[in-house]
Chains A and B, each alone.
Chain A
Amino acid sequence: MKERLRLLELMVTIREFEELTRRLYKEHVIQGALHLYIGEEATAVGACAALRPDDYILSTHRGHGHCIAKGGDLKKMLAELAGRRTGYCRGRGGSMHLFAPDIGLMGGNGIVGGGIPLALGVAYAVRYNETDQVVVCFFSDGASNQGTWHESMNMAALWNLPLIFLCENNQYAATTPVADTLCVPDVARRAAGYGMPGEVVDGMDVEAVREATARAVSRARLGEGPSLIECVTFRYEAHCMVLADHRKRPKGETERWQGHDPIDLLEKRLLNDKQATSEEIASLRQSVLDKLQEAEFFARESEFPDPEEFRAEHERGNWQCVR
């Protein structure tokens, strides 16, 4: 029961974190590219719940949820998004590129499909070092059309690497619906071509995602090789802050998915199974909001990096040509 509440807490944290980033973007505290994860919380939380702290994940341009689910520090995350020196990457990376090796997060990525071979490499290093860690590579439907994905699927299976390809099929790649880009009805089916198991799960059901991931993890830990899991989910919001693609979707589509919301689903289960009261859930939500407020305060109060220090750090910067 405690674990279920923990899953709920993480999903609520992600959702409220994203709402906060949206507000901070409007205030220009966060700038540049910002991709919200709202609607997809169950995939990151379910997958990471099946991992140990020393397991690895690789993330994407839509990576805040992955970082939170793997145990990321909200303060350092928000400070990074605000470009502060106290952020995970000292303000150098920003929203799309969160790196936190201390929690096993080996990086987000601004290049669709760019992180997939990196996951292959991390898994190779695990085998090399003969530990029993596993690697989860998050990607969405769009990335499964990159050559890097297909090459990595082949090598992972060929060399039996402890890698879980975790597809967050959120139905769209930017403005393009998945049916217009995939030659087969689902991504999971592609696993067969690479000799590994492929499974479709309800990506709105955090416990289903956790169970499926746990099965793949145990295979990987036993040296039985990679798996592909396709979580069927949905991105409620626009692709990023400067597009309005979500307003051009078929009527009622977003609402239909919202009717199967991952947070509502787990809340209902907790209430039905009498594992939590609505008061307890409300207070959980409040404690999440309190933590986020602290993180926001931390980010806003943190200093920006020092440009002079940056210049000194980069001796090959050819600074005389900037002026």
Chain B
Amino acid sequence: MRQIRYTQALNEALHEEMERDPSVMQLGEDIGPYGGVWEIHRGLLSKFGPMRVRQTPISECGFIGLAVGAAMSGLRPVVEIMYIDFITTAMDQVINQAAKLPLMSGGAVKVPLVIRGEQGSGTREAAQHSQNLESWFVHTPGLKVVMPSTPYDAKGLLKSAIRDDEPVMFLEHRLLYGEKGEVPEGEYVVPIGEGIVRREGKDLTVVSTSYFLLKVLEAAQTLEAEGIDVEVIDPRTLMPLDINLIVNSVQKTGKLLVVQEATVVASMGAEIVRQVVETAFDALQATPRVIGNAHVPMPYSPVLEDTCMPSRGDLLETIRQMAVGTRSKRIVS
């Protein structure tokens, strides 16, 4: 099968959905002649014109609000936020408007909106350009949250997100943009809310998304040589979460580790552990764990950024420790 880059997969999804449905439109900074700073909008302006591919001023609060209003009026806007960090300037429109209007209106209005953009740490861009904000959005009722890790999923999930009648936060990772993967030529979609087992194993369940998933898969490969058999689950969608897939796996392995790039306190990883503990406590043979970024604004200096993120070595060591089961099972009587 052909291999394409993650950015190209996104570009194809945008082209195909705009061709399929005349109500689909794009909004965002620099998405016009340049085709977006990440080049995900290449070719859209010349094909669909400025009414459907609207390059905006740096006015995030305004144009996200515009997108919500347009969505209420029958359009299907797809908004690019250049770095997810900048969504903070538009939070009222996301949290108080987009997420709430469908319920508040008693269903009188729908908000078929996609807000997509990249996030992530590890590129030495310091505190205001290095956050992973998925947990904020998961925490807000009324939003769906999608986090594809492969070009295949990026394309298939973006198509589903655009066709969805609810607001969807579509979170990419800038270090995934250059990654290549198999994507078929023809039409397909990946449904929102379905996770996938990326690797089968019996010793330990590791749940991971987005760019960290690649590191987890590589670690699993390395540990195979040591006789450690890791099962890797990629939820792909965080809201709604495919919790059954995770619980079934934990029921088999008895151990759960969530690996994420987001800071851990009150995060998605913590939430996954909560749900597993509540539904499958008896299956657990070791204390479930979450590893992720330290609870500090990300410092610039490479040595400091590195100390704030789990390294490859940290990941391997954590999996090793959990796999051999050094922590005894807690018994509730």
Contacts and interface: CB of A to CB of B under 8 A. Distances in A.
Interface stretch (A266-274, A275-283, A305-313): A305-313
Interface in A157-197: 173-176, 180-182
Contacts of B23: none
A310 B37 CA distance: 34
A91 B291 contact: no
A176 B32 contact: yes
Contact of B58 (A112, A243, A307, A314): A112
A290 interface: no
B20 interface: no
Given A32-B126, A322-B292, A84 B301 contact: yes
A121 interface: no
B293 A92 contact: no
Q: Is the interface of A mostly helix, strand, loop or mixed?
A: loop
Contact of A174 (B30, B59, B123, B292): B30
Contacts, number: 157
Contact of B304 (A91, A173, A180): A91
A316 B264 CA distance: 12
A174 B37 contact: yes
B296 interface: yes
Given A97-B126, A111-B128, A318 B295 contact: yes
A258 interface: no
A176 B31 CA distance: 9
Contact of B300 (A32, A112, A311): A32
A97 B291 CA distance: 28
Nearest to A307: B307
A183 B29 CA distance: 16
A319 interface: yes
Contacts of A310: 299, 304, 307
A317 B58 contact: no
Contact of B126 (A94, A113, A311, A321): A94
B291 A248 contact: no
A113 B29 CA distance: 15
Interface in B24-80: 29-30, 32-34, 37, 55-62
Given A110-B126, A176-B32, A180-B55, 14 more contacts: A32-B129, A32-B300, A96-B128, A96-B129, A97-B127, A111-B86, A113-B58, A147-B59, A173-B29, A305-B303, A311-B294, A314-B295, A321-B289, A321-B290
Interface of B: 29-30, 32-34, 37, 55-62, 85-86, 88-89, 123-129, 263-265, 289-296, 299-304, 306-311, 314, 317-318
16 contacts: A33-B125, A83-B302, A92-B300, A94-B300, A113-B89, A114-B128, A175-B34, A176-B55, A176-B57, A307-B304, A307-B307, A310-B299, A318-B264, A319-B294, A321-B289, A323-B317
